[in-house]
Structure 1
Amino acid sequence: MGTLEKGRDADISACVYILKSDIYMAFLRFFSLFLIHITLFTSSCFAGDPFVNYTWEVSYITASPLGVQQQVGLFFFFFPLFFYLFVHLLMWVIAINRAFPGPFVNVTTNNNVVIEVLNKLDEDLLMTWAGIQLRRNSWQDGVLGTNCPIPPNWQSTYQFQVKDQIGSFFYFPSLNFQRAAGGYGGFIINNRPVISLPFATPDGDIIIMIGDWYTRNHSDLRKTLSDGKDLGMPDGVVINGKGPYRYNNTLVPDGIEYESFEVHPGKTYRIRVHNVGISTSLNFRIQNHNLLLAESEGTYTMQQNYTSLDIHVGQSYSFLVTMDQNASTDYYIVASARFVNESLWKRVTGVAILHYSNSKGKATGPLPDSPNDFYDKTFSMNQARSIRSNGSASGARPNPQGSFKYGLINVTDVYVLKNEPLVMIDGKRRATLSGISFVNPETPIRLADQFKVKGVYKLDFPNEPLTGSPRMETSVINGTYKGFMEVILQNNDTTMQSYHMDGYAFFVVGMDYGEWTNSSRGTYNKWDAIARCTVQVFPGAWTAILISMDNVGVWNLRAENLDRWYLGQETYVRVVNPEITNKTELPIPENVLYCGALKTMQKPQKTSSATSITGGISKMFFTLLMVLFAAVSNFC
């Protein structure tokens, strides 16, 4: 090659180098500006409200919490039909990520929670969040009135903010009696660091999930109810998915796995207890230890010592317990059935172990005594009345809890919801509220409103119980936005009931035996009533609650007893802001599922996992980056 050609090639190389350098510098400037804009955008959207992500696979596992042995022999592997039949007779437990109970959610006030749920069950699934108020976001409530179920082998993502809440809650599957098979776990919302606790920071946190348990599968239990039969007495009580410690060689067989909690002497622990059972009220107690009640379902309580506390189905409490006993032995933790014939129900007792780190021996002797109602029929009700809000404590915000003067607010709507013994309607045994047995629509109520689907429900739930024959309907309460609703829960059944309302914490202002009348308002607590989301109603008695209707959406009001809920003892409260605004309710999620009249809108399931907003931004950013690099390379 001659000198001229070499010079020309050198000039061309220099030109290309300069060109590439200019493009490269332009790209860097563009990239920097783009990065700044993205940073500003994400900062403005999510500053101070971090995301907490979970991925759950909900599936069956085989387990024997009460010691029922289940094994698969080689015989069945050679005969697939027998194996198939045998497997379907096993005790299936619903697990999350192969764990029962499921993993506990641990977040802080105002966190954005993203939970990706993969349904590996053989039936539809919805997860609901007991007590999490889901401000402006009933789309994520996880009940049939607001959500289409997640089909088998489908994945769906729940995304919500735990806005201005603290406390102890739990989650569980809301469909098909599935909670009777597990699928539940604890949900903790912590204070922000800038807001102090109304007690010294505990040395540890312990979650205890108690509940009655049947050895029959949940599908068998719901078939029993559908056939018009009672479930009968439970087979036992489980604590954190495990059976009782063998405190009695006759009542408790050998070889049962039990729960044990190790603690250190002199330390104080926050013990969060949830009754996640089916229908049995349980008395909770720890041998020789005082339970200092500190919080209930998001409200700090006046701190009072109890030797035991009745915890009804769906309720949650947290206690401060100081390990102030000697360590000569371990100590019993007990959850036993209440308001039953104790001689027949002795086996329906859960027993775990409190193990001091320097303990010198196993727990022995009789269990600590349960309350004796023989001489005091009002013991449990008076105990419930003694639970009051701590008006001087801050909750999720700096202002004291007692600053909301609920007793001075005028009531705008009154509903008397009466439940009675099970009745026959159109040949089916059903449970009712005010003479109506709720029928879940094929198209969820909130979706029907969004897409103006007519005839899905009736906005005609009566203010007072019906006087005629009971009927099965999809009848909904018309809640007044920013109104103040008084609800009287009248229990004319013979069993203890508890009721829960999604989306709200309500004030429990009164309870008493007999029929509620207008004059009963004179007994209301209008100063420091506990605010919570689940309340008990004693048989032959009433409980009154007050609700500030400030959360737009469609919210489930139900019996927390699973048998009554399954048979129709529920309704929904529809709260609509009459003003056209996007500030009082979040928009419909992009990943919403469609069913019923809207099933044709459902797109096929994507094979890849759903992504959050921040994940979508990351993918968009990466894609644009690759395009820019490709453009530069092609140009040069």
Structure 2
Amino acid sequence: MASNGLAAAVLLLLVHIGLLSSSCYADDPFVYFDFKVSYITASPLGVPQQVIAVNDEFPGPTINVTTNNNVVVNVRNKLDEGLLMHWSGIQQRRSSWQDGVLGTNCPIPPKWNWTYQFQVKDQIGSFFYFPSTYFQRASGGFGGFIINNRAIIPIPFATPYGDIVILIGDWYTRNHTALRKSLNGGKDLGMPNGVLINGKGPYQYNTTLVPDGIDYATIPVHPGKTYRIRVHNVGISTSLNFRIQNHNLLLAESEGSYTVQQNYTSLDIHVGQSFSFLVTMDQNASSDYYIVASARFVNESLWKRVTGVAILHYTNSKGKAVGPLPDGPQDEYDKTYSMNQARSIRWNVSASGARPNPQGSFRYGSINVTDVYLLRNAPPVTIDGKRRTTLSGVSFVNPSTPIRLADQYKVKGAYKLDFPEKPLTGPPKMETSVINGTYRGFMEVILQNNDTKVHSYHMSGYAFFVVGMDYGEWTENSRGTYNKWDGIARSTVQVFPGAWTAILISLDNVGVWNLRTENLDSWYLGQETYVRIVNPEENNKTELPIPDNALYCGALSHLQKPEDISSGVTITASISTVAVTVLTILCTLMSISR
């Protein structure tokens, strides 16, 4: 049995080399990572609890790659339930097979390995990864994902002295299974227990609000140096205001797009959003400084304990941070400040991006719109006795056979291509209802928030143009307010309660792509759909073929072969890595011979 398994592994290795051999003539190197996803015990808010770690780290390690790298991540699922890793904001050009969400992939079974392989084609910027299934992000498993420019492409600012990743987010002392049970039982999650910064609780800036003995994050810096600080809101549902005491935040990039550089004393960062700032350490270091992430649009008197506080420590600091925290925006019930701040974020159309051509050469404002979808949410409703959330009256039901897999094998009835262009007028329904996108079309999506809280919306596989937002109901006349020149291109955008946000999407990435709220509780209860984009002329240039390690479930479960323990899981799981190593050697030899 073992020899048969080894033979199969060798054969699979040869297949991988054959598939990758064309890369010998491309200057796109492979980089690989090994992720062990498991439970550990940690006490981020002073209470021992089960968290999800990557390589025994909470948060997980930062993935640091360069534009056009081929990224290979071997994931070992040490959890007791299925797992998918999602690469938020990474566009997965031509390969929704690697996106890591339930509509496109079968979960990695417990105790199994699975290898992701994708190219960060023509992308730069600040992103993060997280587990997308079963509410697991509420227990951790997340980490930063940096894509650097190639050396031949200049960045629109002086090279920073250092690069710092900061992960902020609301946090509960109950783990994801307990939170999931509450949602399944028709209950709200209630107020979070705190806000974490890099997986740690607040510095004890106030002995009444913060108990003793909580470990906090300290970020060391050198005086006079400028750092690029990449901040990601990886939380469940709370918008956070980010600020550093006595320091300006020069906004430089958001989710893969360079911005017009503007100074902010603080910035609202909504769930799922990523920003990078240039921060110069220009203070006198008489003491350390507070780094603060505080909840927005909530009753401050009730939420004072839900504040994340870390420490910015100059190497020549003369003492600990003292005194009250720096004030955030004083607009508890007035959302205008935050919306105006969001509108002020503009695309730097003169900067070079991942490609040599200026980003501004893509004039989205002059492209004809081919599809229009008005997506309206609402507070949770009861459908068939279950508490659910909706988009346009449809509460999405994840299919037992993922959509892209069902297409590949022509499984009938797995989903419906009937998502409404306008909200349903009848009672809400639970369906696996999908948007039928037009390949190379240009889609306008209006996100109308009729809920009572801020929502963030994300679309996998794409960066879309944020062209407008305002309060009230969107109408045809609202298009007159659109920014048709330098609206920021990003993958996650906020929609304020009682307001709308309009985005434009160029549908050039073939596949099945998730469109969802990033608010984890609402996402879990059904506020999502998928956009299916098919090239009528099938070819491997617009979409890569199904990977040879594809997992099967639902109606295709019979195609799934058991993991071959006897031949050694490591051999099979690492086959892509081995193939890459062998290919690299072959390419080098071929280069020398030429």
Matched, 1:388 2:346: yes
Matched, 1:544 2:505: no
Classify 1:339/1:359 alpha carbon distance in 2 versus 1 (closer, same or farther; 3 Å). Answer: same
Moved more, 569-578 or 397-406: 397-406
The 2-side partners of 1:167 and 1:611 are apart by 28
| Runs of 4+ in structure 1 over 6 Å off | 617-622
The 2-side partners of 1:505 and 1:550 are apart by 11
Classify 1:46/1:360 alpha carbon distance in 2 versus 1 (closer, same or farther; 3 Å). Answer: farther
The 2-side partners of 1:116 and 1:208 are apart by 24
The match for 1:51 among 23, 30, 33 is 30
Question: Residues 429-444 of structure 1 correspond to what in structure 2 (within 5 A)?
Answer: 429-444=387-402
Matched, 1:112 2:75: no
The match for 1:605 among 563, 566, 579 is 563
Classify 1:161/1:621 alpha carbon distance in 2 versus 1 (closer, same or farther; 3 Å). Answer: closer
1:373 Cα deviation from its structure 2 partner: 1.3
Counterpart AA for 2:449: N
The match for 2:51 among 93, 106, 116 is 93
The 1-side partners of 2:500 and 2:407 are apart by 33
CA contact (8 A) 1:205 1:270 kept: yes
Matched, 1:616 2:575: no
The match for 1:60 among 21, 34, 39 is 39
SS in 2 for 1:344: helix
Counterpart AA for 1:571: T
Asked which structure has the greater RCO (Cα within 8 Å, sep 6+), the reply is 2
Residue aligning to 1:493: 451
1:496 Cα deviation from its structure 2 partner: 0.7
Classify 1:44/1:365 alpha carbon distance in 2 versus 1 (closer, same or farther; 3 Å). Answer: closer
Moved more, 437-446 or 44-53: 44-53
The 2-side partners of 1:46 and 1:253 are apart by 59
Question: Residues 415-564 of structure 1 correspond to what in structure 2 (within 5 A)?
Answer: 415-564=373-522
1:350 Cα deviation from its structure 2 partner: 0.1
Counterpart AA for 1:397: R
1:134 Cα deviation from its structure 2 partner: 0.3
The match for 1:270 among 194, 218, 228 is 228
Question: Residues 19-34 of structure 1 correspond to what in structure 2 (within 5 A)?
Answer: none
The match for 1:403 among 355, 361, 369 is 361
Question: Residues 555-634 of structure 1 correspond to what in structure 2 (within 5 A)?
Answer: 555-606=513-564, 607-609=568-570, 610-613=573-576, 615-616=578-579
1:42 Cα deviation from its structure 2 partner: 4.5
Classify 1:612/1:392 alpha carbon distance in 2 versus 1 (closer, same or farther; 3 Å). Answer: farther
The match for 2:170 among 176, 199, 212 is 212
1:140-195 deviation line (CA, Å, top 9, x unaligned): 00001110000100000000000000000000000011000000000000000000
1:201-254 deviation line (CA, Å, top 9, x unaligned): 000000000000000111010110110010000000000000000000000001
Classify 1:461/1:375 alpha carbon distance in 2 versus 1 (closer, same or farther; 3 Å). Answer: closer
Question: Residues 157-172 of structure 1 correspond to what in structure 2 (within 5 A)?
Answer: 157-172=115-130
The 1-side partners of 2:384 and 2:334 are apart by 42
The match for 1:138 among 86, 96, 103 is 96
Classify 1:433/1:540 alpha carbon distance in 2 versus 1 (closer, same or farther; 3 Å). Answer: same
- Segments of structure 2 that go 5 or more residues without pairing to the other structure are 1-16, 586-594
The 2-side partners of 1:253 and 1:50 are apart by 49
The match for 2:276 among 310, 318, 328 is 318
Q: What number of residue pairs does the alignment pair up? A: 563
1:100-133 deviation line (CA, Å, top 9, x unaligned): 0001000000000000000000111000000000
1:620 Cα deviation from its structure 2 partner: 10
1:565 Cα deviation from its structure 2 partner: 0.2
1:558-584 deviation line (CA, Å, top 9, x unaligned): 010000000000000000001132210
The 2-side partners of 1:42 and 1:570 are apart by 38
The 2-side partners of 1:137 and 1:619 are apart by 24
Who wins on radius of gyration, i.e. which is larger? 1
The 1-side partners of 2:23 and 2:208 are apart by 64
The match for 2:292 among 324, 334, 341 is 334
1:317-344 deviation line (CA, Å, top 9, x unaligned): 0000000000100000000000000010
- Segments of structure 1 that go 5 or more residues without pairing to the other structure are 1-37, 71-90, 623-636
The 2-side partners of 1:210 and 1:172 are apart by 13
1:615 Cα deviation from its structure 2 partner: 2.1
Counterpart AA for 1:106: N
The 1-side partners of 2:334 and 2:392 are apart by 31
Classify 1:621/1:139 alpha carbon distance in 2 versus 1 (closer, same or farther; 3 Å). Answer: closer
1:586-610 deviation line (CA, Å, top 9, x unaligned): 0000000000000010011133332
Classify 1:621/1:287 alpha carbon distance in 2 versus 1 (closer, same or farther; 3 Å). Answer: closer
Matched, 1:156 2:114: yes
Identity %: 79
1:617 Cα deviation from its structure 2 partner: 7.4
1:45 Cα deviation from its structure 2 partner: 3.4
SS in 1 for 2:102: coil
Moved more, 294-303 or 372-381: 372-381
CA contact (8 A) 1:388 1:528 kept: yes
SS in 2 for 1:354: strand
CA contact (8 A) 1:114 1:612 kept: no
Counterpart AA for 2:42: A
The 2-side partners of 1:347 and 1:621 are apart by 53
CA contact (8 A) 1:391 1:401 kept: yes
Counterpart AA for 2:387: R
CA contact (8 A) 2:32 2:577 kept: no
Counterpart AA for 2:236: I
TM-score (norm 2): 0.93
1:38-61 deviation line (CA, Å, top 9, x unaligned): 99x857536311110101110000
CA contact (8 A) 2:454 2:495 kept: yes
CA contact (8 A) 1:413 1:483 kept: yes
Counterpart AA for 1:206: I
Residue aligning to 1:20: none
CA contact (8 A) 2:239 2:454 kept: yes
1:618 Cα deviation from its structure 2 partner: 6.4
TM-score (norm 1): 0.87
Classify 1:251/1:399 alpha carbon distance in 2 versus 1 (closer, same or farther; 3 Å). Answer: same
